Amino acid sequence: MGLAKKNQSIQDWITQQWVILFGEKIDNSKYNWLLGPFGETHGIGKKFIEQLAKDEKLIIDQESINKGILDSIEHLNLPDNELDKLCPNVIDFYQNTANYNLLLKVKWNPIFKIFGILVKKVFSNRIEQLNVPIQNVEDSSGLTNEIIKLLDSKTNEVKRTIWLRAFKLTGQVVYSGVYETCDLPNGHTCIKAAFPLPNGNATVILSPRVGNNGELILDSSGQKIGDSGFYFLLRDSKGRLWTKFIKSFKDKLVVSSRNDRITAIQTLTLWNLRVLIFEYEIKKTTHNKVSYEKH
């Protein structure tokens, strides 16, 4: 049996050991579709971006506008009949995400709020990652919305795309995730979002489809390893890789546009019970030309 790395906080060690005990060891040569960057033990947040660039010998693109989660919507490999009916505003949001303002509302299921409080106190505040508001947010709360590209210094090719969101009022990081597409073993193309954690990450793989009204529906409703879904990954004390697929946890995101108003509704469920709902209002803005600043 593997052991989690020493010299880290006890709560991180326990959760990593849980992944080892109840997950399975994987061969990275066969699971390239699942792999993504791991975090360090001393926090994630904005520090992770500089560390990732350094570790992978990449440079940070200083431009802050006209950058998207996807360089092209065609990277999703949607069938032609679905791509044709996908709303142009939704396409623009995914290809030029940084050109939009985000307003957020949060609605918790009271049954799961204690779980959110525990995660926030034990993990989120300390590692600067996954800082979901505990109180229901009825009035829209503004988020910063940065798309940060890491480039090959010789070819200028985009190697990593990071979506960084934080509360404007406090600067507290909500999510710092690495986004890309991946091809599952069955050949289906999905969006993969890897959220770095100490010595590992939490990865959500979302299967895309287009709804009847031109909305983009991203769903992590797989049943087993190799499907879309929620995964924990970690590297143990001997450098071996482990993963735990959380079948009971589902994430569904619907991004739609009506009358030029873009909205996104994200629903998280556990054991088929709603945990919380994020409601985003997405507004295009005129950016001043600014550069990403190191922290």
pLDDT averages per 10-residue partition of the chain, 295 residues:
85 89 92 92 72 92 88 96 96 96 89 73 55 61 88 94 87 86 96 91 96 97 95 94 95 94 94 92 70 44
d(CA 172, CA 178): 18
Per-residue model confidence as pLDDT tens digits over 16-47:
999 999 999 999 889 999 999 998 766 566 77
Q: What residues contact 121, with CB distance under 8 A and at least 6 apart?
A: none
d(CA 191, CA 181): 4
H/E run at residue 16:
helix 10-22
The answer to whether the CB of 262 falls within 8 A of the CB of 93 is: yes
Q: Establish if 16 belongs to a structural domain.
A: yes
Q: What pLDDT score does 250 carry? A: 95
Q: What pLDDT score does 124 carry? A: 53
Two structure tokens written together for 245: 């697929």
Q: What percent of the chain has pLDDT over 90?
A: 61
Q: Establish if 290 belongs to a structural domain.
A: no
Q: CA 138, 169, 128, 18: dihedral to nearest 10 degrees?
A: -10
d(CA 263, CA 256): 6
Type of residue at 10: I
Q: Establish if 295 belongs to a structural domain.
A: no
Distances in Å between the Cα of 131 and the Cα atoms of 119, 128, 154, 165, 216 are 9, 7, 36, 10, 25
d(CA 242, CA 232): 8
* HSE toward the beta carbon, residue 166, CA cutoff 13 A: 16
Q: What pLDDT score does 224 carry? A: 95
Using the Cα atoms of residue 219, residue 222, residue 228 and residue 231 in order, give the sign of their dihedral.
Answer: positive
Q: What pLDDT score does 73 carry? A: 97
Q: Establish if 230 belongs to a structural domain.
A: yes
Domain of 34 in residue numbering reads as 10-284
Q: Establish if 151 belongs to a structural domain.
A: yes
Per-residue model confidence as pLDDT tens digits over 116-137:
667 655 555 555 556 666 665 6
Q: What pLDDT score does 128 carry? A: 58
Q: Establish if 264 belongs to a structural domain.
A: yes
Q: What are phi and psi of 192, to 5 degrees?
A: -115, 130
Q: Establish if 167 belongs to a structural domain.
A: yes
Type of residue at 271: W
Residue for token pair 């995914």: 94
Pairing mode, if any, of strands 58-60 and 100-108?
unpaired
Looking at the 3D structure of the chain, how many domains does it have?
A: 1
Q: Establish if 2 belongs to a structural domain.
A: no
Q: What residues contact 177, with CB distance under 8 A and at least 6 apart?
A: 162, 163, 193, 194, 195
DSSP letters of 71-91?
S-GGGG---HHHHHHS-HHHH
